[in-house]
Amino acid sequence: MKILIIHGPNLNMLGTREPQLYGTKTLDELNQECKQYGSTLGLHVETFQSNSEGDIIDAIQKKGKTVDGLIINAGAYTHTSIAIRDALATLSFPKIEVHLSNIYAREPFRHHSFLSAVCTGHISGFGSKSYLLALQYFSIRDNR
């Protein structure tokens, strides 16, 4: 099973950006952790990051044709992008929305996600473990 992980804006700054909220792990370290853990679960993990809304939509449309599942942390676009929501809605396979921090324990404008309604599930507040929990879903979903 092939899983695409999409990281949105500012996630390239992990490790230095607000470490009290997002931790000290870099994006490269997070991607490596996800690929290694995915491999132990029998999953092939591909990663993509962009600060550009259009590039994220392009990745969903193009790479979405070659994978079996998607994990997305759209960063701030979670709360603003109907366009990313609409791109996700075109995919017929499972999609998991993840966030490192608990968006519901933060500023009120972060409490609404445009993406949740078109995703299979939502995991937030567990730091990098949010991604690993999403990968676990893909490893067990066929064994229900």
| Distance in angstroms (rounded) separating the CA atoms of residues 126 and 131 | 9
pTM of the model: 0.92
CB 137 within 8 A of CB 143: no
What the chain holds in terms of domains, given with CATH numbers, is: 2-143 (3.40.50.9100)
- The edge-to-edge listing of strands for the beta sheet with 121-124 is 44-49, 2-7, 69-73, 95-99, 121-124
Which residue out of 22, 37, 77, 131 is catalytically annotated?
22
3-state class (DSSP) for residue 16:
coil
The catalytic position among 7, 37, 77, 99 is 99
Give the per-residue pLDDT at 51.
Answer: 97
Q: Known catalytic residue: 99?
A: yes
Would you write out the chain's pLDDT as a tens digit for each of its 144 residues? 999 999 999 999 998 887 777 778 999 999 999 999 999 999 999 999 999 999 999 999 999 999 999 999 999 999 989 999 999 999 999 999 999 888 876 767 677 798 999 999 999 999 899 999 999 999 997 644
**Catalytic site includes residue 77:** no
